[in-house]
Structure 1
Amino acid sequence: MNKKISIIGSGFSSLAAASYMAKAGYEVTVFEKNNTFGGRASQYLTQGFTFDMGPTWYWMPDVFEKFFADFGKKPSDYYQLERLDPAYQVYFGENDSITIPGNFEEICQIFEQEEKGSSKHLRKFIKAAKDNYDIAVKDIVYRPGVSPLELVTPKTAVRVGQFFSTIRKEVRKNIKSQKLIQILEFPVLFLGAKPSNTPAFYNFMNYADFGLGTWHPKGGMYKVVEGMVTLAEQLGVNFVSNANVEEIVLDASNKVEAIIINGKRLETNLVLSGADYAHTETLLPKAVRQYSTNYWNKRVFAPSSLLFYVGFDKKLKNVEHHTLFFDTDFDVHAESIYDTITWPEKPLFYASFPSITDGALAPEGKEAATFLIPLAPGLEDTPELREKYFNIIMERLEQLTGQDVKENIIFKESYCVNDFIKDYNSFKGNAYGLANILTQTAFLRPKIKSKKVKNLYFTGQLTVPGPGVPPSLISGKIASDLILKTSLS
């Protein structure tokens, strides 16, 4: 029986797949090019501050619970969770914000205060979203994207219209307040596409938001990475850092037989890549690459990001753990990402202040903050542009929240397109993979199993089910299930 499996990259999908494969009895080694594990979910430590450099939102806790339960464990065996209340705050202008509570009944009250009668429509909308969540997350998203028939079930058949309508149309049917509309359209941004291009079926993300809530792992999201690494090691997975995979070696029948790491050849029976899909195929001879550069250039990618990790020498006012700044036109910003491919003139941005919830993430009396501006992948990325946009959002932060902060900055570190390329070999420096639009859903996404190379598989946000941390966990399970069925049985 073929036993040796090599996994490229150590993001969430790779970590999940590693555990499943080890549990099935295979010899699994994870090779990570960087010096820490977790892929984009890395951690930045400086001057007593702790920052999650990648994901900062913990949504869909049931997906994490299901993952750990597959190994007879619970998330609480590895990290502690706190449900955030408030969940987040949204600024629409100066002294104009809505704070979303941590429970649904209070959210309904907030909606009713903003627009009389809207809570009735919200309840109906979230009920439909829950129904879709139960269909999608408990069934459909665990399918491997091999055939369009995977989407055809008695429950999806009666919802076929939702795949041809959009989130934008559904949200705006009964809600008139632009503020409430923006709040309801916000969750699909995690899917990497505009609400006007996202199928209405994906309103299940609204149930993830209002129904399942927003959570914080004590110590930050990197605690989830550490927990998954610990689980994998308990199952016998071997982890190797600073291990840059330079080539996937094939035999005469185009079957994987080895990988070249830092110039050294290592025999293997199978390769599963959680690294960037396009980059992974450059490790192969051109004749057996499935997708050309032209193919990738024609895909609709989820955004890249300009990120800042900032330490303040005081506690900030009038912000929550998660704070969204939607005081400029979302559609204009979205055009710069998906249509004109330019730097936005008036960017929306997101800020995370985790030290509000978790005092261990910053020295006493100080604040840790992460700021994120969504950008088109492939943009010019220079120190001058980064500084320009940092000043833009700091001025907006001061104006909107009514406080001075620029003079209280101890340090800042930035991260953008060039860094995503350098650290993760990310195509055009994208941060979140492929957008979940109709033409890139399920079986229309890049395949998990290579069609040209035997025993080569892919996992992660460029395959099924798509971008985000919970989908990445699911992708790892899908890939491992497919491997066990088709290659190693």
Structure 2
Amino acid sequence: MQNKKVVIIGSGFSSLASSCYLAQAGFDVTILEKNNTIGGRARQFKKDGFVFDIGPTFYWMPDVFESFFNDFKTATTSYYKLEKLNPAYKIYFNKEESIAIEDSLEKIKSTFEAVEPHSGKALQKFINKSEDNYNIAIKDLVYNPGESVFEIINWDTIIKSGAFLTTIKKQVASYVKHESLQKILEFPVLFLGAKPSNTPSFYNFMNYADFKLGTWHPMGGMYEVVKGIEKLALSLGVKFETQSAVTSINLEGKQVKSVSTQKQDYVCDVLLSGADYHHTETLLPQAFRQYSEQYWDKKTFAPSALLFFVGFDKPLEHVTHHTLFFDTDFEAHAETIYDTKTWPEKPLFYASFPSKTDRVAAPEGKEAGIFLMPIAPDLEDTPEIRAQYFDKLMSRLEQTVGTEVKSHILFKESYCVNDFKEDYNSYKGNAYGLANTLMQTHVLRPKLKSKKVDNLYFCGQLTVPGPGVPPSLISGKIVSELILKYSKS
């Protein structure tokens, strides 16, 4: 075991997590990253004293992060400082109506009650159910490798089988009637990359994560989490090679013997890819690819995104650290992502103003703004289209919050489909991986272990358990356990 070499392609959260587990188990681990900084999608952009997280900005499910560090007899507090956000986020439904979600369930129940009588009690019942599902999902199901359906068929899931047959949308409507409250309860499943009308109600455990576990911010930004795991990995002996894009996977029979980069070849006993699954398989000879182009083309992908990173010369009023603009028709926008695959006319969008909480994010007296608009993967992406949508988003921001912003913009940078493809070899430029629909859950997702190459494994958002930072950390853990299992057999 001591001398077994593992090469990991990519340095996103799943790769970083797995590198720590494998190094702890005695493997000699090297991570190859194509970009000049590690973190995969969770990189940073810095300009004129402003600091932006390019990738994830929401820190949810703190227990999963804590559990990861606890596995190495340490804690998050040794690596970064967390601040609980209050409000967690604010949603604008129109100019006149906005609802802020505060930092405790009791406060949130009062907020619901003020909008719809008796909805506070209904919310408590809903959250009780979602807590049950969270306990089943996080403490049991998601830590399984997706090799057999019997991993997820047990007494708890049999009892809850109906939760896989009805949708979040239907379930939410049975608890609250007010449209704005329904939208708030449907919002967390957007992190799973699918419409509430297509997502099994079992996934309401995201509402427990939202309302009971809370929304947090690592001071310095989400990249502090990357740096924390990197520090842990280095202490365990993991080696990092940046600007090292893998150009081929070299086989002997059904075994990976090495991988090639432009700089050199890396011999390995095990190859693990946390890079894009589809892209990784294109580095193999055709006969050793598990999934065809048709397979990938038919899959339901989570959205891509059009992102803007904006420096403002003044603090912005009437917005919170996380602010959501649901002031247009959600179904119409969702249809452009999942059905017609076109640019939306009236998009919903999300804005993050990390400088509301974290002075590192912007110079004194200024504001950092991150704007994200979900879109269908593989859309035409041109500078003209980006400019048109930037103007739309800024106009909507001004109209909705009632404050002038356009004349206070110092600079803007954009990021979209072409960048996801270029920087991450992302299939169709998707931002979040495969959607968690019923037909893409657990055993129905691409496998962690290759069926055609004996010592090739995968982790990350295109395999189990799915999209998001906490699932990526979990993916890194379960693939490591799988590698250990097969290395011993």
Q: For the Cα contact (< 8 Å) 1:246–1:263, is it kept in 2?
A: no
SS of residue matched to 1:272: strand
Q: Deviation string for 1:195-238 (max 9, x for gaps)? A: 00000000000000001000000000000000000000001100
Q: How do 1:454-469 and structure 2 match up within 5 A?
A: 454-469=454-469
Q: How do 1:80-479 and structure 2 match up within 5 A?
A: 80-251=81-252, 253-262=253-262, 264-479=264-479
**What are structure 2's unaligned runs of at least 5 residues?**
none
Q: Distance in 2 between matches of 1:155 and 1:328?
A: 39
User: Normalization by structure 1: what TM-score?
Assistant: 0.99
C-alpha displacement of 1:95: 3.1
C-alpha displacement of 1:293: 1.1
Q: Deviation string for 1:435-484 (max 9, x for gaps)? A: 00000000000000000001000000000000000000000001000000
Q: For the Cα contact (< 8 Å) 2:7–2:266, is it kept in 1?
A: no
C-alpha displacement of 1:254: 1.5
C-alpha displacement of 1:264: 2.3
Q: Distance in 1 between matches of 2:446 and 2:54?
A: 27
Q: Distance in 1 between matches of 2:187 and 2:488?
A: 42
Percent of residue pairs identical: 63
Q: Distance in 1 between matches of 2:249 and 2:371?
A: 37
Q: Distance in 1 between matches of 2:18 and 2:169?
A: 35
C-alpha displacement of 1:488: 4.8
Q: Distance in 1 between matches of 2:335 and 2:87?
A: 31
Task: Give the match for residue 37 of structure 1.
Answer: 38
Q: Distance in 2 between matches of 1:209 and 1:231?
A: 28
User: Normalization by structure 2: what TM-score?
Assistant: 0.99
C-alpha displacement of 1:244: 0.7
Q: For the Cα contact (< 8 Å) 2:342–2:379, is it kept in 1?
A: yes
Q: For the Cα contact (< 8 Å) 1:314–1:408, is it kept in 2?
A: yes
SS of residue matched to 1:344: coil
SS of residue matched to 1:256: strand
AA aligned opposite 2:189 = V
AA aligned opposite 2:427 = F
Q: Deviation string for 1:275-319 (max 9, x for gaps)? A: 000000011000110011111000000000000000000000000
Q: For the Cα contact (< 8 Å) 1:50–1:362, is it kept in 2?
A: yes
C-alpha displacement of 1:150: 1.0
Q: For the Cα contact (< 8 Å) 2:244–2:263, is it kept in 1?
A: no
Q: Distance in 1 between matches of 2:263 and 2:234?
A: 26
AA aligned opposite 2:86 = D
Q: Distance in 2 between matches of 1:103 and 1:122?
A: 13
Q: Deviation string for 1:15-55 (max 9, x for gaps)? A: 00000000000100000000000000000011000000000
Q: Distance in 1 between matches of 2:390 and 2:6?
A: 44
Q: Deviation string for 1:324-367 (max 9, x for gaps)? A: 00000000000000000000000000000000011121000000
Q: For the Cα contact (< 8 Å) 2:277–2:458, is it kept in 1?
A: yes
Task: Give the match for residue 11 of structure 1.
Answer: 12
SS of residue matched to 2:196: coil
SS of residue matched to 1:475: helix
Q: Distance in 2 between matches of 1:266 and 1:80?
A: 37
The runs of at least 4 consecutive aligned structure 1 residues that moved more than 6 Å come to: none
Q: For the Cα contact (< 8 Å) 1:449–1:456, is it kept in 2?
A: yes
Q: Deviation string for 1:98-118 (max 9, x for gaps)? A: 011111100000000000010
AA aligned opposite 1:239 = F
Q: Distance in 1 between matches of 2:408 and 2:155?
A: 58
Q: Distance in 2 between matches of 1:376 and 1:440?
A: 18
C-alpha displacement of 1:174: 2.6
